[in-house]
Structure 1
Amino acid sequence: MKITHCLDGQGVSRLALSGELDMASADAFHEQVQHALASDRPNQLIIDLAALTFCDSTGIRALVDARAAVLACQVAFRVVNPRGVTRRVMRVTGVLDVLTAV
């Protein structure tokens, strides 16, 4: 998995994921979330899944855990652009609306 990190001028930190979010990449994702929170001190963290091609149950758990960690820091959290299999898995597991809510 590749993670691209950027911060806009309005306090929004964005992590764009490409490839697969699974057991092999969940720890790297968690580290990037923690890094974005510590270094950017954003008021919102957006996880962009437009280029994510696969997400298994470990990946879903990583997204849910990221949401909890971000909200615990009083930072807004939102997942955007889930597509294909990733969107289906999020819907079936019941987290689509929770993770993508504005």
Structure 2
Amino acid sequence: MQLPTPGEGSGRVVLAPVGDLDIATVPGLERTLDEALGRVGLLEIVVDLSAVTFLDSTAVAALLRGAAEAVGRGATLRLIDPQPVVSRVLRITAVGRLLGLPDDHGDRPPGVADPAPWRR
């Protein structure tokens, strides 16, 4: 996994992890999030998930902790561009919206309609 060092500047930090975010790699994600959260003038952390191929519950928890810490510091953390399998994990765990993802269902193949909601 690669996590670029956040740059100084506009108050926006972009992190772009690569590969799997799981119990083995989450400590690196947490260190990088902590570094970003410590930046003076931080307004937003954007986590670009376009190159993340797998996300487990430890990564979801780390992202939620980072988002909560960002809010506590007057900033935000949001996710962008998840791969379909990652998007599905975030939707199933009901944290996608908490982390700034729209309520779309990008994990369905093209042309597959949204199933009707369950009703009682």
Normalising by structure 1, we get a TM-score of 0.88
| CA deviation profile, 1:16-49 (whole Å, cap 9, x unmatched) | 1111111011111111011112245421111111
1:90 maps to which residue?
A: 90
Aligned residues between the structures: 102
2:7 maps to which residue?
A: 7
Structure 1 unmatched runs, 5+: none
Normalising by structure 2, we get a TM-score of 0.76
Q: Larger C-alpha radius of gyration, 1 or 2?
A: 2
The Cα of 1:60 is off from its aligned counterpart by 0.9
Question: How far apart, CA to CA, are the structure 2 residues paired with 1:51 and 1:66?
Answer: 19
Per chain length, whose mean CA-contact separation is higher, i.e. which structure has more relative contact order (CA < 8 Å, sep 6+)? 1
Q: Following superposition of structure 1 onto structure 2, how do residues 20-31 of structure 1 map, counting pairs within 5 Å?
A: 20-31=20-31
Identity of aligned residues (%): 30
Structure 2 unmatched runs, 5+: 103-120
Q: Following superposition of structure 1 onto structure 2, how do residues 1-102 of structure 1 map, counting pairs within 5 Å?
A: 1-7=1-7, 9-39=9-39, 41-100=41-100
The alignment yields a C-alpha RMSD, in angstroms, of 1.8
On the 8 A contact 2:37/2:69 being kept in 1, the answer is no
Question: How far apart, CA to CA, are the structure 1 residues paired with 2:42 and 2:25?
Answer: 23
Question: How far apart, CA to CA, are the structure 1 residues paired with 2:12 and 2:32?
Answer: 15
The Cα of 1:87 is off from its aligned counterpart by 0.5
Question: How far apart, CA to CA, are the structure 2 residues paired with 1:30 and 1:79?
Answer: 15
Q: Which runs of 4+ in 1 moved over 6 A?
A: none
